[in-house]
Amino acid sequence: MTRYIVQRLFFIIPVALLVCFLTFMVIHLVPGDPARVLLGSEATPDTVAALRQQLGLDKPLFAQFGLWFWQLLHGNLGQSIQLQQPVLEAIIQRLPVTTELGITSLLFSLVLAFPLGIYSATHRNTWVDWLINVLTLISTAVPGFVLGLVLLLFFAVDIRIFPPGGYTPFSEDPAGNIRDLILPMITLGTGTVAVNMRQIRANMIEVLSQDYIRTARGQRFAGEKSAISSCVTQCDYSGHYGYRPTSRSDNRRRIRCGDNIPLARCGTISSFKHPG
């Protein structure tokens, strides 16, 4: 396992370098001069040339990439043109809010995906299964910016339940923090509900088609008896007690009598004693 992880990390390095290089080159294919954009259309050519020299834009592309990568290795991500502050500083300032929003969006997606996926798997090929799949696919098809605008228009402008923007730290006002996160959380989490639901549904269908599940349904045991039924196809009844049932009726008779039945190779359950 360690060797596999090391190999994966080793292959990540050239891939990351290639992605950085291609991204750097594609950005320079965009029409326009960054120095001219920063200074405006009324800037003189001498001022534009001075800024290009200051930013290193007068050097060849490969030299610019090498300079950028060398600064990246030293933790210098450059200066944000729009924010007029170091990029690393801007990332650190916004990281807590981004992390909080990402975690809450993931939880919102899983809270919806788990019950929908399980219910859809246990009711396959029914109208409920069809309806759940259609609704989740629609949620994926709707772009996030469209859903966000609709939520703002309805809940923030018309009904005015939630604020249209802003952020309140949880330490200052927990209720305000939750209220500010609800609309962004729904906007980001709705798009991943379908993906998570489909994965959960597929896994549930695979598990429900296993032999031990079909045997458990055939046994029709209730309560604690389902523990035996779920493992009956994987168990070896020869165990500590020297007893091996010869038939299903013999097995059930032993259960009704409250005897211990060893269950080997059944996860963490080693023996089972029915309360009678």
Q: Residue 69: what pLDDT? A: 84
Cβ-proximal residues to 86 (8 Å cutoff; 6+ apart), any chain: 76, 77, 78, 79, 80
Q: Residue 99: what pLDDT? A: 92
Per-residue pLDDT tens over the stretch 192-217? 888 888 888 888 888 878 877 777 77
> Mean per-residue pLDDT for 148-161?
87
> Mean per-residue pLDDT for 3-23?
84
Task: Output DSSP code: residue 155.
Answer: I
Same domain, 6 and 103: no
Q: Residue 271: what pLDDT? A: 39
Q: Is the predicted pLDDT of residue 179 greater than 60, yes or no?
A: yes
Kind and range of the H or E run holding 38 = helix 34-39
Residue 26 lies in a domain: yes
Which is more confidently placed, 214 or 72? 72
Residue 176 — pLDDT band, cuts 50, 70, 90?
A: confident
Same domain, 40 and 142: no
Per-residue pLDDT tens over the stretch 143-152? 888 888 998 8
Residue 225 — pLDDT band, cuts 50, 70, 90?
A: very low
Residue 34 lies in a domain: yes
Domain boundary among 25, 48, 76: 76
Q: Environment class of residue 48 by beta-carbon count within 10 Å: exposed (0-12), middle (13-18) or buried (19+)? A: middle
Residue 219 — pLDDT band, cuts 50, 70, 90?
A: low
> Mean per-residue pLDDT for 13-37?
82
- Which residues lie across from 79 on neighbouring strands? 86
Using a pLDDT cut of 70, give the percent of the chain over it: 78
Residue 83 lies in a domain: no
Q: Is the predicted pLDDT of residue 251 greater than 70, yes or no?
A: no
DSSP 3-state of 106: helix
Q: Is the predicted pLDDT of residue 240 greater than 50, yes or no?
A: no
DSSP 3-state of 233: coil
Same domain, 267 and 200: no
Residue 19 lies in a domain: yes
Q: Residue 161: what pLDDT? A: 86
Same domain, 14 and 66: yes
Same domain, 233 and 269: yes
Range of the domain at 150: 93-208
Residue 214 lies in a domain: no
Residue 99 lies in a domain: yes
Same domain, 124 and 153: yes
Same domain, 100 and 182: yes
Same domain, 176 and 256: no
Which is more confidently placed, 34 or 172? 172
Question: For residue 89, how many other CB atoms are within 10 A of its CB?
Answer: 13
Residue 13 lies in a domain: yes
* Whole-number Å distance between alpha carbons of 120 and 118: 5
Residue 67 lies in a domain: yes
Same domain, 56 and 106: no
Between 45-59, 139-153, 156-170, 233-247, the lowest mean confidence (pLDDT) is in: 233-247
> Mean per-residue pLDDT for 131-153?
87
Domain boundary among 43, 76, 109: 76
CB 157 within 8 A of CB 164: yes
Q: Residue 103: what pLDDT? A: 93
pTM to 2 decimal places: 0.61
Q: Residue 220: what pLDDT? A: 59
Q: Residue 235: what pLDDT? A: 39
> Mean per-residue pLDDT for 135-147?
85
Same domain, 34 and 136: no
Domain boundary among 76, 104, 125: 76
- What's the chain's average pLDDT? 75
Same domain, 117 and 145: yes
Q: Is the predicted pLDDT of residue 263 greater than 50, yes or no?
A: no
Same domain, 194 and 113: yes
> Mean per-residue pLDDT for 94-100?
90
Number of domains in the chain: 3
Reported in sequence order, the residue ranges of the chain that DSSP labels E, i.e. its strands, are 260-266, 269-273
Amino acid at 242: G
